[in-house]
Amino acid sequence: MEVIICRDAAEMGQIAARHIVSVLRASARPVLGVATGSTPLSTYAALAELQAAGRADLSGISAFALDEYVGLPADDERSYAATIRHTVTEQLGLDPDHVHVPDGTATDLVAGCQAYEDAIAAAGGVDVQILGIGANGHIGFNEPTSSLSSRTRIKTLAPRTRADNQRFFAADETVPTHCLTQGLGTIMDARHLVLLASGTAKAEALAAAVEGPVSAMCPASVLQFHRHALVLADEDAASALKLSDYYRHVRDNQPQGMRIDTL
Ligand code: F6R
């Protein structure tokens, strides 16, 4: 696992975007795994800037989202389908037919989850997956005690996750109780992972994920088993890391040609 402590969200987005572009460029059938939430927004903005500057062309890629609320249709602005449409598909000029989000309104949700797994496999698998981290250590909506080998399925959201996401809903609206989410096993199948963390609210979860034991109590800790996991954190999110001096030392002393932030 490589940990880079970034000055701020803008630098985090730029490093993530350059890494993502270099991974996608090397793929014959590029597939990007996308996340919703606040943290990846600077990465999507940086990807859009690279495109505008002619340094990346993402028009031909496919994308798969991590998760969706059960019961919210794609035309509901609070759905993750709508969020992905605005922050990813439109901003990066992707073909909407090649951007996939689990269908939280399917009549048969179990069959829909299997179809989602099949669609990822048919696309050749995810080349690089963007991840945020919940304050309770979740990735996707894999809440604590999720199986480390889980696949796409229905999950019950933790009360803390629903409270954290209330900001995307009006005060008198309730956050859905259930979601569809790629499993930890599904996420681990991606060939590269980029975990982004921003703000002090994520500090404890990030420290548990990177430096704690691998445990279903902190689902993000499963990344310790991934061969190509890059963790980008701002100073606040990195504030509980015990080895932050070491991560800075590694960043300052990367061998030429291996510098992630100069790709
Ligand atoms: C979103 C997702 C979640 C978020 C996490 C952090 O698709 O899967 O795991 O990444 O809840 O959310 P933010 O970035 O809003 O703090």
Structure tokens at 259: 């510098």
What average pLDDT does the segment 218-225 reach?
98
Residues 6+ apart with CB under 8 A from 166: 175
Is the CB of 134 inside a 6 Å radius of any atom of ligand 1?
yes
Mean pLDDT of the chain: 96
Q: Give tens-digit pLDDT for 162-219.
A: 999 999 999 999 999 999 999 999 999 999 999 999 999 999 999 999 999 999 999 9
Q: Which of 68, 127, 143, 164 is catalytic?
A: 143
What is residue 255's predicted lDDT score, i.e. its pLDDT? 81
> Which residue out of 39, 42, 142, 143 has the highest number of ligand 1 atoms within 8 Å of its CB and is therefore the one to mutate?
39
Kindly calculate the radius of gyration of the chain based on its CA atoms and give it in whole angstroms: 17
- How far is 152 from 129, CA to CA, in rounded Å? 15
Q: Is 100 a catalytic residue?
A: no
Is pLDDT above 70 for 259? Answer: no
Q: Give tens-digit pLDDT for 38-66.
A: 999 999 999 999 999 999 999 999 999 99
Is the CB of 67 inside a 6 Å radius of any atom of ligand 1?
yes
Q: Is the pTM of this model over 0.75?
A: yes
Q: Which of 256, 257, 260, 253 is nearest to 231 (CA)?
A: 260
What sign does the dihedral 244-2-30-182 (CA atoms) show? negative
> Which residue out of 126, 138, 193 has the highest number of ligand 1 atoms within 8 Å of its CB and is therefore the one to mutate?
138
Q: Give tens-digit pLDDT for 72-123.
A: 999 999 999 999 999 999 999 999 999 999 999 999 999 999 999 999 999 9
Q: Which of 19, 138, 192, 226 is catalytic?
A: 138
What is residue 263's predicted lDDT score, i.e. its pLDDT? 42
Is pLDDT above 60 for 261? Answer: no
Domains with residue ranges and CATH for the chain? 2-246 (3.40.50.1360)
